[in-house]
Amino acid sequence: MQTPKPPRNPKQVKVLTHHGIARADPWYWLRDKDDPAVMDYLQAENAYTAAVMGSAQDLQTALYKEMRARIKEDDSTVPEKEGMYFYYERYERGAQYPSNRRKYQTLDAPDELLLDLNQLAKGESYLELGVCQNSPDHRYLAYSLDLDGSEEYTIRVKDLTSGNLLDERISRTYDSLEWANDNCTFFYTVLDEHQRPLKVFQHKLGGSPEHDYLVFEEHDPRFFLSLFKSESGRFIFICSEGNNMSEWYYIDAHHPDRTPTLIEPRTPDHEYDVTDHGTRFFIRTNIHGAKDFKIVEAPITTPGASHWKDFIAHHSGRLIDDFVVFSNYLVVSETSRGLPQVRVIELASGGSHLIEFSEEDYDVHVVMGREFDTTILRYSYSSLATPEEIYDYDMATGVRVLRKRKEVLGGFCSDNYKTMRIYAQGRDGVEIPISLLLRKETPRDGTAPLVLYGYGSYGHSIAPRFNQMYLSYVDRGFIYAIAHVRGGMEMGFQWYEDGKLLKKKNSFDDYIACAEYLIKKQFTAQGQILGIGRSAGGMLMGVVVNLRPELFKAIIADVPFVDVINTMLDKSLPLTTVEYNEWGNPDDKHYFEYMLSYSPYDNVRPQRYPHMLVVGGMNDPRVTYWEPAKWVAKLRHTKTDHNLLLLKIHMGSGHAGASGRFEYLKEIALELAFALKVFDKA
């Protein structure tokens, strides 16, 4: 059979000059999606990928069936009590999407269907639920839908008494909405022409959205707005947040027409978030050098920083990630030595204790409940080998009750797997955590192929939580590893700061150090690594494959942020100005030159590259489709090998890929089949 030939991508050289530095960009033209030639090229790339992967179609189908067979298709979430109702989601067998339901007073009561996403998805190629908030009296349900992956949502309101939709249809909103306590007013955020949520409006049921009241407007494009309601239900908060800077306002939820009140003005590098308890606010803050955050309290009547008093002092190396307040308790989510902890504090006595967890490497997070006056804390626990478990923990007695263990079908047994946490030494001496999952019989003599996942940006920590899709690698003899590189926050806030701006190259060096350590310790061998990253993690893949291509057998880069300079120079894109404090502002020559020195697209060079699969989304507002498209085009013209280079652009979705649970598995099956094909594991 004739080998498919990759599509031609003609050069149309455009010279871009900034700070007196001229850059020739032959594929700049791919940015114009209204150009028929661009769409023709993307379709040709998709056709080429389909042709190359045609020989693995049976494998893709088998992998899809394998992953689907592990899913308990008829399943429900653990009901959450709010007032006289229990709210939950339910999947039916064969359904792509869940339905939202509730029961009245007891769990034995008949269930009431609130929202069936499968019905709403009929005739749509994509559907993503944004907000889904019931009014305090439980009569109305406000929800929002994104129908193309652009992250632009339309709000609708359903009367749960009659089952009818109200006339309200509010478009161009973001996924943030909170109800006032009068049960007829809600607040929501609206996107500007650059897809940035910069306005908060107030809507009253029955009114025309055209006449909605503008409550708050952010004039600095480096900030996005979001809304939160406090656990007590007393306040609605407006958060204006940029990268490493925030500013909060509050509105009395019982008096929604009052003007928002500022808590503390924004200042550079000061982040804080707020909730209330009685006559005081509790505030998580990094003010005055509290790099790993502390919690302070302040009177609601005088909430500014001059009135802040330490409640939980700063402790270097113990990062306070989040906190939640109940009527008698404050619960703190912490990270220490790269592992999550949950600390419970009794407000009356000040006494505290940690909830204990036994595994060497795990993930735990508090599930935000709907009840304020309760002693029950719900949390989720999992590890790379332990499917998610939902517990209710009585903060008064210390008794925990397992409410649900996620069923994984298809013959899965946790006892067949081993998890580990090891540490690689970085080039500057730091210890970099690595999470590992392998079958117990997998040899550690350097013969096993290895998947190395990485991210390392925005302070986002990659939790070692269970994902059944990894099993399709591990059950075929792969070792699965997560490199917790700098730029995340696994080891505290300094870990993040040491992997951003002019220290961004630490992220890349750390990932390479992890790969070298795994080779040295014979978990795998050089040329037997599959590197995987998505979004900013895709940028990580782009950098390391330029620097050390010989380490890898293959790379999978999902929605990769690879055209760093051109993206960060384009202020019309939604995230550009918001992310100056992450990557730097290229209008500053110092940052421009540093970013240019690692930008994957700008540093493609004539050398051998491993097999590569690059994936993008046509409607992605975060990483535009043209970044992966341009990168692949340049690689085709530059690299010196004959290894596979495939581009797949999903034409009907955005940053998160397909929205239906089974359609998403088909996308993963393509990636798995590609990997198994090039590793000769098919």
Is there a contact between 430 and 486 (Cβ–Cβ < 8 Å)? yes
Give the pLDDT of residue 20.
97
pLDDT value at position 23? 96
Contact 270, 285 (CB under 8 A): yes
pLDDT band, very low/low/confident/very high, at 8 (cuts 50, 70, 90): confident
Residue 84: the pLDDT is 96
- What is d(CA 629, CA 616) in angstroms, rounded to the nearest whole number? 8
Whether residue 655 is predicted with pLDDT greater than 90 in this model: the reply is: no
pLDDT tops 90 at residue 3: no
Query: Residue 563's closest CA among 588, 534, 542, 537?
Result: 542
Q: Which amino acid is at 386?
A: T
| Residue type (1 letter), 177 | L
- The residue-averaged pLDDT of 636-652 equals 96
* Per-residue pLDDT at 166: 98
State the catalytic residue, choosing from 535, 599, 653, 659: 535
Between 369 and 230, residue with greater pLDDT: 230
Of 194, 149, 175, nearest in space to 574 by CA:
194
Whether 277 is catalytic: no
- 52-89: pLDDT as tens digits: 999 999 999 999 999 999 999 999 999 999 999 999 99
| Mean model confidence pLDDT for the chain | 97
Measure the CA–CA gap between 625 and 668, rounded to whole angstroms: 19
pLDDT for 77: 98
Query: Could you tell me what percent of the chain has a pLDDT over 70?
Result: 100
Percent of residues, the chain, with pLDDT higher than 90: 96
Confidence band of 42 (pLDDT split at 50, 70, 90): very high
650 is catalytic: no
Amino acid symbol at 524: T
- Phi/psi region, residue 153 (left: phi>0; alpha: psi -120 to 50; beta: rest), is beta
Q: Please name each of the domains of the chain with its CATH number.
A: 35-68+413-678 (3.40.50.1820), 75-405 (2.130.10.120)
Q: Tens digits of per-residue pLDDT, 355-396?
A: 999 899 999 999 988 999 999 999 999 999 999 999 999 999
Q: For residue 2, what pLDDT is reported?
A: 66
Q: Does pLDDT of 1 surpass 90?
A: no
pLDDT of 124-167, one tens digit each?
999 999 999 999 999 999 999 999 999 999 999 999 999 999 99
The answer to whether 655 is a known catalytic residue is: yes
β-bridge mates for residue 226, sequence order: 239
**Catalytic site residue from 314, 484, 611, 655:** 655
Q: Mind listing the pLDDT tens digit for each residue in 160-203?
A: 999 999 999 999 999 999 999 999 999 999 999 999 999 999 99
Residues 491-541: tens digit of each pLDDT: 999 999 999 999 999 999 999 999 999 999 999 999 999 999 999 999 999
